[in-house]
């Protein structure tokens, strides 16, 4: 990708020609932009003349000169705005590296140029410092590495708060040249899909990133993310397959007749429930308490559905399977079995003792129904969201066994 250099020019040529020569030791070509200030007084040197002198001294054919640009040198707010506009124009182009002169021109020019380049150019930003006297080259470093590290930390902090989708947008600012940032961005995209229960989209992405995690398990910034990707990737395929088979109501008769069906529901079904519980916890951390209640309710409903599916009762089409009709009182053309109806069906067919969880079911369903996103106008508090989670967890343990109380922790996301 293209390399460019930007030098503020003051009342001397400074070390600009020497800096360009040094840069060309590692670049095949270089596009140079010169920013000069206004003449400070009638008898003061004109910075524009020094731009012309610099161009006259540098005769290397690998250098392409962009048009010099005048910038207000002393009024910081004006200087910053003009430099910001200049950098915005460069942002539209594909630029790999940007060398920034930090010694020529006035202080407002240098500060504005460095800050705007760091903040708004998605490229390597390398500050260039050259002493004017003797034009001695001084060492420089890739300053954008610091910027990118800060952006990565910001994305991970945002994800840690439960806002995984927003973290993806922040990670998009990171460049592709560093494999760490490619892994970070791709992993967050996969986890955002997972956070939306989109197991189909998440499955392949998690598998791809899981193969890369050994590179990052000792990276103090990315080790927790690598662990999360590895952990979820091992569950993704089976969870996607089961949820896909459940959605396929038309072929449920054949699916439920399979010799492996009950084992799949028994082993993979609780994973779907555990993931809904973990999702509910993320919404609490995010401060979206109503959304947390809906997910707690969904976890309990999903646990009920797994008990139904294990006996070949499809919750959306209870009479879909002849095996179920032979063993259970399933009226023909039975409507969908919702959360409470599913529990009552299990109770009436002696598949469940409902008494130990009846209060939790009523409390969870009641809070959910009164929320603004369902049938009421209640704004859920953090305390209410936490109570709903505990009610849901109690129901899930009763339906699927006490191990679900620990299993949902496997689906927490650590960043």
pLDDT score, position 289: 98
How many structural domains compose the chain?
3
Per-residue pLDDT tens digits for 241-275: 999 999 999 999 999 999 999 999 999 999 999 99
Q: Which residues, listed in sequence order, are joined to residue 130 by a DSSP beta bridge?
A: 137
Do 405 and 289 lie in a common domain? yes
pLDDT score, position 41: 75
- Of the candidates 392, 193, 375, 372, the one whose C-alpha atom is nearest the C-alpha of residue 288 is 372
Phi-psi region of 134 (alpha: psi -120 to 50; beta: other; left: phi over 0): left
pLDDT score, position 313: 93
pLDDT score, position 134: 53
Q: Which of 223, 247, 271 is the C-terminal boundary of a domain?
A: 247
Q: Which of 225, 247, 269 is the C-terminal boundary of a domain?
A: 247
pLDDT score, position 332: 59
- Going from the C-alpha of 398 to that of each of 58, 180, 242, the distances in angstroms are 80, 43, 22
Do 98 and 153 lie in a common domain? no
Report the C-alpha gap between 182 and 357 in whole angstroms: 47
Cα torsion angle, 21, 22, 25, 31, sign: negative
Do 191 and 49 lie in a common domain? no
Do 233 and 267 lie in a common domain? no
- For residue 76, the domain's CATH number is 3.40.50.10770
Do 168 and 210 lie in a common domain? yes
Residues of the chain with confidence (pLDDT) below 70:
130-140, 331-334
pLDDT score, position 143: 81
φ, ψ for residue 182 (rounded to 5)?
A: -65, -45
Report the C-alpha gap between 353 and 274 in whole angstroms: 22
pTM of structure:
0.79
Do 91 and 170 lie in a common domain? no
Q: Are 294 and 368 in contact (CB under 8 A)?
A: yes
Do 219 and 281 lie in a common domain? no
**Domain extent at residue 241:** 144-247
pLDDT score, position 325: 75
């Amino acid at each position: 990708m293209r390399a460019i250099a930007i030098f503020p020019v003051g009342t001397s040529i400074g070390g600009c020609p020497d800096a360009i020569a040094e840069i060309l030791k590692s670049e095949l070509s270089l596009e140079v932009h010169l920013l000069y200030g206004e003449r400070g007084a009638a008898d003061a040197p004109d910075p524009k003349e020094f731009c012309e002198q610099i161009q006259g001294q540098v005769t290397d054919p690998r250098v392409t000169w962009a048009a010099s640009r005048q910038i207000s040198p002393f009024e910081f707010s004006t200087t910053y705005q003009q430099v910001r506009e200049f950098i915005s124009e460069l942002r539209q182009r594909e630029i790999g590296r940007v060398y920034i002169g930090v010694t020529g021109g006035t202080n407002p020019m240098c500060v504005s140029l460095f800050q705007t380049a760091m903040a708004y150019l998605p490229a390597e930003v390398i500050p260039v410092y050259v002493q004017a006297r003797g034009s001695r080259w001084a060492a420089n470093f890739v300053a954008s590495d610091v910027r990118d590290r800060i952006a990565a930390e910001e994305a991970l902090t945002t994800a840690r708060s439960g806002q995984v989708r927003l973290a993806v947008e922040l990670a998009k600012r990171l460049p592709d040249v560093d494999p760490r940032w490619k892994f970070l961005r791709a992993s967050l995209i996969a986890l955002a899909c997972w956070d939306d229960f989109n197991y189909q989209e998440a499955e392949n992405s998690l598998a791809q990133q899981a193969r890369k995690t050994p590179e990052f398990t000792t990276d103090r910034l990315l080790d927790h993310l690598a662990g999360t990707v590895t952990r979820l990737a091992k569950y993704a395929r089976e969870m996607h397959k089961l949820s896909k088979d459940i959605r396929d109501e038309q072929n449920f008769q054949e699916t439920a007749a399979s010799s492996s069906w009950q084992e799949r529901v028994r082993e993979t079904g609780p994973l779907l429930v555990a993931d809904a519980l973990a999702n509910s916890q993320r919404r609490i951390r995010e401060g979206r308490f109503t959304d947390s209640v809906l997910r707690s309710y969904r976890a309990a409903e999903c646990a009920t559905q797994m008990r139904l599916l294990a006996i070949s009762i499809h919750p959306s089409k209870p009479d879909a399977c002849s095996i179920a009709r032979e063993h259970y009182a399933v009226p023909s053309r039975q409507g969908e079995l919702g959360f409470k109806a599913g529990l009552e069906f299990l109770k009436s067919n002696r598949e469940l003792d409902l008494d130990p969880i009846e209060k939790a079911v009523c409390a969870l369903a009641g809070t959910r129904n009164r929320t603004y996103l369902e049938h009421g106008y209640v704004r859920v508090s953090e305390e209410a969201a936490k109570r709903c989670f505990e009610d849901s967890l109690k129901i899930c343990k009763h339906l699927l066994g006490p191990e679900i109380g620990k299993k949902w922790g496997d689906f927490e996301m650590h960043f």
